[in-house]
Amino acid sequence: MVRDRKVTILVVSLLILFSPVVLATFACAADVQSITISGMVLDSDGNPVAYATVTVKGVLQSEDLSELGLEAFKSYTTTTSLDGSYQLQLKAYFSTYMITVSKDGYRPATDTVTVTGDRVTKDFSLERETPPPADVWIYAQFGKFDVNRNTGEITGDYVSFRIQNGSILSYSVKDRVLFDVIYSNALFESIKSSGSELIITGPGESYEVVVHDNPTGYLKILSGNDIIFSFSNEYNLTLDENLVNISLADNFSASILSTNDLELKDNVVTAKGNALFRITGLAREFESDLAEARELIDKAILEGKVGAEVSIRNESGVYEDDSMIYDSSVSIDVNASPSEILLVVDGKNTQGKTIVINTDRSIFKNLDKINITYDNKPIDMADDIFDVLDPTDDGSNVEYGLFLGKNGAQILVSIPHFSKHVIRILSFSIEPEILMQYVAIAIFCGVIVIIMASFGMFRKTY
């Protein structure tokens, strides 16, 4: 009888201890409702826009990733009907959803909606995108970029420059003027935007310029002409065949890469056919001892070992990401919340690749204490930078590397064989408020256990 009473006390104590978790789990499952998002897409004259693409994606804010399955991060896509209407049905895992509407010949439109019931209505008005005359600048909102009609100034949250014929002048990242670059004698023909990516093309596809508005200052140029970068004398440039390293005394570092050999003379870099510029370390004052890692990542990009690079930031409570794809066979979907990042990666090419993730303290307050899982299985840290940049050297083992800076970090994950996989990065840090809740629950459960144990002893005595 005494043994049975002790077992009963133990079982009841465990139920009390884990009841909040169980209740929270059932509550989460019960709260997921089906909703319908619908609306109209019209042009600026009020006419319906048929066959426009409408994409809906959840926006992580206060949701807990641990309580959401992979299905929650699915993007939903449909097209408008002849009368310009659209309708999508989905499970409302999130309280906020982002809707993007696009169609060739129109400027894309993006807005967010808040789920307050089982039906959400959102209408859009698309403006026509007409090719500019040869000497006239266009004015439009291209995702995160503004283009000034009078001066040709293109301004984003991070990247700004001035476009003039086949040249980019005063290419700057966060007010740091970096270079001028000439890539063609021809005028630009079109400018298109998708999120934070801006694409400038020349007549007859004679050149293509791709810019990403993020801290890496990503700039890729393809041209039939020589591509000439001109830097001021304050920058230190060194040449290593098809890689030029750019640095300053304040720990700033960047690179120009090309699949062809580069030329360097008097701080002028000449590339033939293609060039890729990127700032390493997110332009967030990374420690100087990351210089070797930076050069090795650059070379891995040239060798085709890096599949994609992701930058993540917290903008006024909304977690935004920008993905730069280095291998066209790789696709990546990103979701982030406080202390957690979820990546869904896929690739048609089964060859191993490394994924580079750039993040800062707004995501992980405790960057030196993180846990990374791959398809829900924990993975080990690689021996060194060489190890994580060689995805096939350890057979089928997935590994990661972590390189810390003053205000952020680069996380590298090597994937030996590509198909659809889920990478989850979780911080071990616990907020003080949550820690106090755990302490309170533990004290409460301890008091209950003591009372029940005392009651059992009292009955045994009498």
Percent of the chain scoring above 90 in pLDDT:
16
Does residue 11 surpass a pLDDT of 60?
no
pLDDT at 3 over 60: no
Q: What is the structure's pLDDT at 36?
A: 94
Q: Give the pLDDT score at 456.
A: 60
- Comparing 455 with 371, which gets the higher pLDDT? 371
Query: How many other β-carbons are positioned within 10 Å of the β-carbon of residue 111?
Result: 12
Highest mean pLDDT among 29-33, 122-126, 278-282: 122-126
66-80, 137-151, 274-288: which has the minimum mean pLDDT?
Answer: 137-151
Chain length of the chain: 462
Residues 402-450 have pLDDT tens digits of: 877 666 778 889 888 777 888 988 876 444 444 455 556 667 666 776 7
- Tell me what pLDDT residue 135 has: 35
At a CB cut-off of 8 Å and minimum separation 6, what does 272 contact?
226, 227, 258, 260, 261
CA-wise closest residue to 246 among 293, 179, 174, 300: 179
d(CA 49, CA 108): 12
Measured between alpha carbons, how far is 13 from 10 in angstroms, rounded to an integer?
A: 5
Give the closest residue to 363 by CA, choosing from 337, 333, 400. Answer: 337
pLDDT digits (tens, 9 = 90+) for 167-226: 888 898 887 888 999 888 777 778 877 767 888 888 877 889 999 888 788 999 999 889
Q: CA-based angle 283:288:291, to the nearest 5?
A: 85
| Per-residue confidence (pLDDT) for residue 345, from 0 to 100 | 87
For 359-373, what is the HEC assignment? EECCCCCCCCCEEEE
Model confidence over 367-407: pLDDT tens digits? 667 788 988 888 888 888 888 888 777 667 888 888 776 66
User: What is the per-residue pLDDT across 303-348, written as a single tens digit (0 to 9) for each?
Assistant: 888 888 888 877 666 677 788 888 878 888 887 777 788 888 888 7
Residue 455: pLDDT band with limits 50, 70, 90? low
Each residue's pLDDT tens digit, 233-256: 888 999 988 899 898 876 678 899
Of 36 and 177, the structure prediction assigns the larger pLDDT to 36
Whole-structure pTM value: 0.56
Q: Please, what sign has the CA dihedral across residues 256, 261, 265, 270? A: negative
pLDDT at 298 over 50: yes
- The share of the chain scoring above pLDDT 70, in percent, equals 72
pLDDT at 87: 95
Higher pLDDT, 289 or 138: 289
Residue 59 vs residue 387, higher pLDDT: 387
Answer yes or no: are the C-beta atoms of 264 and 244 closer than 8 Å. yes
How far apart CA 114 and CA 301 sit, in angstroms, is 40
What is the overall mean pLDDT for the chain?
76
pLDDT digits (tens, 9 = 90+) for 134-159: 333 332 222 467 777 567 788 888 88
